[in-house]
Amino acid sequence: MALGGGTFLTQNKVLPGTYHNFISKARAFVNLSNRGYVGLPIVLDWGVDGDVFTVTQEDLQKSSRKIFGYDYTDPKLKGIRDVFKNAITVYFYRLVVGAVAATNTFAIAKYKGVRGNDIKIVIHANVDEPTKFDVQTLLDNVLVDEQTAVTDAKGLTENDYVMFKSDATLAETAGTALTGGSNGSAVTGGAHQEALDSLEAYGFNTIGCLSSEPTIKSLYVEYTKRLRDQVGAKLQIVGHKLGAADHEGIIDVQNDANGTDEEIFGAVYWTVGAQAGVAVNKSNTNKKYDGEHTLVMSETMTQPQLTALLKAGKYVFHRVGDEIRVLEDVNTFTSFTPVKNEDFSMNQVIRVLDQIAIDTATLFNTRYLGKVPNDQSGRVSLWGDIVTHRRELQGIRAIQNFDPEQVVVEQGNSKKSVVVDEVIEPTVAMSQLYITTTVA
């Protein structure tokens, strides 16, 4: 029989042998969560509907035709390109009501919507085996799939654009278009509610509201308030002329744009990405607008106009020479009190506070919850991890004047609860210069 061996919890073994524990050297936990995540309910001509689908910058550049039905450079994707100028990952939810998939004798479009009408099926006899067929799928007359030497429709495999009808009879055709594809009727508040309900399970920094309907805008505003104030999710909404929201989670883009809804929401596309993608130690104040839409400056031409909008908590673009820039990186919170002062109207401050909340929750949930005893040693360990995290934030100049002695970790009212008190001073970017020059 072998001697005793293995690991040990206490020194209570009976058999002779070696009992060896391998443990990690104590190391502080530092994990700054990434930014750049956007939630975006949106009307599309093509794509997944009824569910959230994730798109990264790389996905957009390499697979935009498959995902959205259009090439990366197509004008139809102008708004989406603007989001990705700063966003890293977008959780899309396609808004549809009563959409219909295009179809023909041989196939049905993989997704509902008008883009399916631009698909056609071309069938030729195979050169080497004339009794068999070569079947091509074209989108806007561009070949996107080809299957050769197919005996019958049952031998066809669905591709990224169509699902073939297994009971169809294959016959040569120079091009049979799919028809009947429709985006459906006008998107209702119910569709937006379904989108918001589905997105609630995802973590993102900002969510875009692409609606001009007051009731739908109100839905997004209340959704954001609920998630921030009751659920604890740290996100901000970006919308166009949302009204008197008065909340640090609401960013209200004021500028109009020319023409269609696509143009009106041009600033929203860009801002929802810019606000998500900005680093925790950076500000979007004075950031240059490099989007593809034309913003109207009629409401933001004079200093009195700009002053009034800024005091009302509006996110404003203004002209600086030949460039369009963000006036001030602010949200709609304006009802300042001694407990919650004007600092909370600065989005850079909110980003720091949200970063702390997200990272601390991740730290506790992954390393302490249900794992570490709530005794003095356990609380000292938690204190050390919190202090290390805050020092990391100070190292990247997101906070300043941090004093570890002001972090207090104590047992709460029950044996399982822990209470932390701390003092944090977020750093914000310079935006005003007052200078007095004495001429001798």
295-323 burial by CB neighbour count: b if 16+ within 10 A, else e? bbeebbeeeebbeebbeebbbbbbeeeee
pLDDT attached to residue 255: 82
What are the pLDDT digits (tens) for 80-93? 999 999 999 999 99
User: Residue 302 — very low, low, confident or very high, per pLDDT cuts 50/70/90?
Assistant: confident
Amino acid at 406: Q
Residues 6+ apart with CB under 8 A from 129: 149
What is the domain range of residue 67? 37-96+187-326
Residue 7 has pLDDT above 90, yes or no: no
Average of pLDDT values for 269-293?
A: 96
Q: Which two tokens stand for residue 191?
A: 């569709």
Comparing 6 with 194, the larger pLDDT belongs to: 194
- Helix or strand (DSSP H, E) at 380: helix 376-395
Residue with tokens 């640090």: 248
Residues 6+ apart with CB under 8 A from 42: 79, 80, 92, 93, 94, 95, 208, 210
Amino acid at 33: S
Residue 389 has pLDDT above 70, yes or no: yes
The answer as to whether 217 is a domain residue is: yes
Residues 6+ apart with CB under 8 A from 145: 136, 137, 159, 160, 161, 162
Same domain flag for 160 and 194:
no
* CATH code, domain with 143: 2.60.40.4290
pLDDT attached to residue 256: 74
User: Residue 301 — very low, low, confident or very high, per pLDDT cuts 50/70/90?
Assistant: confident
Domain count, the chain: 2
User: Residue 294 — very low, low, confident or very high, per pLDDT cuts 50/70/90?
Assistant: confident
Same domain flag for 123 and 193:
no
pLDDT attached to residue 264: 80
CB atoms closer than 10 angstroms to residue 1: 4
For residue 278, give the nearest of 300, 251, 301, 256 by alpha carbon.
251
Residue 20 has pLDDT above 60, yes or no: no
Residue 58 has pLDDT above 50, yes or no: yes
Average of pLDDT values for 36-61?
A: 96
Same domain flag for 242 and 303:
yes
Same domain flag for 223 and 322:
yes
Beta strands 89-94 and 37-42, pairing class: parallel
Tell me the whole-structure pTM to 2 decimals.
0.91
Longest distance between any two alpha carbons in the chain, whole Å: 99
pLDDT attached to residue 244: 87
